[in-house]
Amino acid sequence: MSTATEAVRLIPKPTDSHECQLLEVSMGPQHPSTHGVFRMDVALDGERVVKLKPVFGYLHRNHEKIAETESYLGSMPYTDRLDYMCSLTSNWAYALAVEKLAGIQVPERAEYLRVITAELTRLQNHASLIGFLLQDMGASGTPLMYAFREREKILDLFEALTGARMMCNYMRFGGCRVDMPAGWLQQAQKVVDAFPRFLDEYEQLFTENEILMARTQGVGVLSGELAVNAGITGPMLRASGVNYDIRKVDKYGIYERFAFRVPLGDHGDVYDRYMLRMLEMRESVKILQQALRDIPPGPIMDPKTKIRGFRPKAGEAYGRTESPKGELGFYLISDGSSNPYRYRVRPPSLVNLTVLEGMCLGQNVADVMAILGSVDIVMGEVDR
């Protein structure tokens, strides 16, 4: 038990030589570029990072324990607060796990609504992430504001559909909560049609930008082999050249109906992670165009599913989705009562941080911010 209580000693034993004096820096928890309350204990040799230990738990509220005392439906609003940038994909992951647990079918129109909302979520997440990343590297204001301008249009769509901009609480087991209001589809079409123009503009600004390339190419390199072993998922994994997209592998929902490609990176550095998200947004636009074109009329809820007083049979299920940050999974155990016996969130943000130290070692301290920004974390999900 001694390993648990002993604080980690960052600084090695002092030596007589002046050359190897290390500087211990506590980065965070209150800093804009740590994306929430996140701290890193960093040891520096001059500008070079020689040790980096992430410290979690500032936002810990034991979401999983709360869910054990809530009904199955009662946990749905809590899932909004996990990844507060992408509440709709979190909703979907939880709904999917419960549907697996109880064997619920989802009507077709609801599946389309899920795909549309999830891909819109991916668009706004990736656009803002790139904005944040550039902000962290000193491109103050412009990139983030451009991204937020587009994000605002998507959030307006969410508000019209679900009643909330960020805490959408939209999906239900066996469907979605409400159908789209009149004119929503046309409005969504307009936003999606205009999005590639924004991407062109964005790419013109950054993709071949000399400063961006100098700051990100060859920085924070992650090999594909290590990425797989460390359970890295999402854009970060694919930037390292591993072809694994759960939308393609599991084909959950109705993703097998859409034609889209999975972009892959070559080098696994920060620049590849930036570029991969750019390309993924273009693929999401493709999916959205097909979904908005094909969405059929019909019911949006499975009529056989009882939402209130919902009691699945005893058993367990693990359901996972490709959220914008990676594999978001929910593991549920039912004992036949109205609240889950065990409710577990598999947080992509937390697991993706496993390799943070490895990526930062030997880099300059200023690169740590760029590397952390390219991982894409949200502390609501890391700490739960």
Partner 1 sequence: MLEAIKSEIEANVSGCRLEVVPNSSPSGQHSLLIDCERALAVARFLRDAAHLRFDYCSNVTGIDWPGKEIVEKEKIKKLVDGVEQEVEEVRKTQSAGHLEAVYHLYSMEKKHGPVILRMRTKNRSDQTHLPSLTPIWRSAEFQEREIFDLYGIVFDGHPDLRRILMWDGFEDHPMRRDYVEPDDYEYEPTPHDEVLEKSKQHTHGVRAR
**Contacting residues toward partner 1, per CB under 8 A:** 1, 3-5, 7-8, 56-57, 60, 62, 64-65, 100-103, 226, 228-233, 242, 244, 249, 312-320, 327, 329, 331, 333-334, 342, 344, 346, 350-351, 353-355, 383-384
Q: Per-residue DSSP letters for 112-173? A: HHHHHHHHHHHHHHHHHHHHHHHHHTT--SHHHHHHHHHHHHHHHHHHHHHS-SS----EET
**Minimum CB distance to partner 1 smaller for 281 or for 332:** 332
**Minimum CB distance to partner 1 smaller for 65 or for 197:** 65
- Is beta strand 326-334 parallel, antiparallel or unpaired with respect to 315-323? antiparallel
Order of strands, edge to edge, in the sheet holding 48-55?
23-27, 39-45, 48-55
Q: What are phi and psi for residue 52, nearest 5 degrees?
A: -150, 120
**Minimum CB distance to partner 1 smaller for 133 or for 355:** 355
Q: How far is the CB of 20 from partner 1 (least distance, A)?
A: 23
Report whether 144 contacts 132 (CB < 8 A): yes
Q: How far is the CB of 233 from partner 1 (least distance, A)?
A: 8
Q: How far is the CB of 201 from partner 1 (least distance, A)?
A: 35
| Element at 69 (helix H, strand E) | helix 63-69
Q: How far is the CB of 372 from partner 1 (least distance, A)?
A: 16
**Minimum CB distance to partner 1 smaller for 289 or for 338:** 338
- Is beta strand 342-346 parallel, antiparallel or unpaired with respect to 175-176? unpaired
Q: How far is the CB of 300 from partner 1 (least distance, A)?
A: 22
**Minimum CB distance to partner 1 smaller for 94 or for 170:** 94
